[in-house]
Amino acid sequence: MKSVDDVIILIKKYAGTEEVYPDTDINKDLNIYGDDFNDLLEEYSVIADVDMSEFLWYFHYKGEGWNFGDLIFRPPNKRVKRIKLTPQILYNFTLDGKWGIKYPKHSVPSIRYDIIGSVIVCAVLIILIFLNLK
């Protein structure tokens, strides 16, 4: 990528709007999150040849959809302070060829209890529906 405009062109593919500027907050202003943000960053890393091995998604956007487990257990993105990403920030990373954010010290469980909680709720609902059909 030769300029921030190249990053903006890529982001517009995912944004559904032409209103993308160097300082646009990709998550907050464009409502790109979850799988869409992940797809955007995968394409960005290939095109811009940026090493994303240090990237931590939960600092930048929420996961896809909603789950019942969120009511009891906080997902990773709610355990840290969000750090915005803009086209200018992404372009700056292309200059070094690597992800340039040094994340603050934090603690996120290795097990996603919020997802496990959702699976349990869904399983109970399916069992209850099945029992009511008999």
> By C-alpha distance, which of 89, 87, 91, 67 is closest to 77?
67
- For residue range 77-129, list pLDDT tens digits in order: 787 999 999 999 999 999 999 999 999 998 877 887 777 777 887 888 898 88
Confidence of residue 37 (pLDDT cuts 50, 70, 90): very high
| pTM given for the model | 0.79
> How many domains does one find in the chain?
1
CA distance readout (Å), 105 to 100, 120, 122:
16, 31, 34
- 73 lies in which domain range? 4-133
Per residue in 50-87, pLDDT (tens digit) is 999 999 998 998 877 666 666 777 777 787 999 999 99
Alpha-carbon gap, residue 23 to 21, rounded angstroms: 5
Rounded to whole angstroms, what are the CA distances from 131 to 120, 125, 134? 16, 10, 6
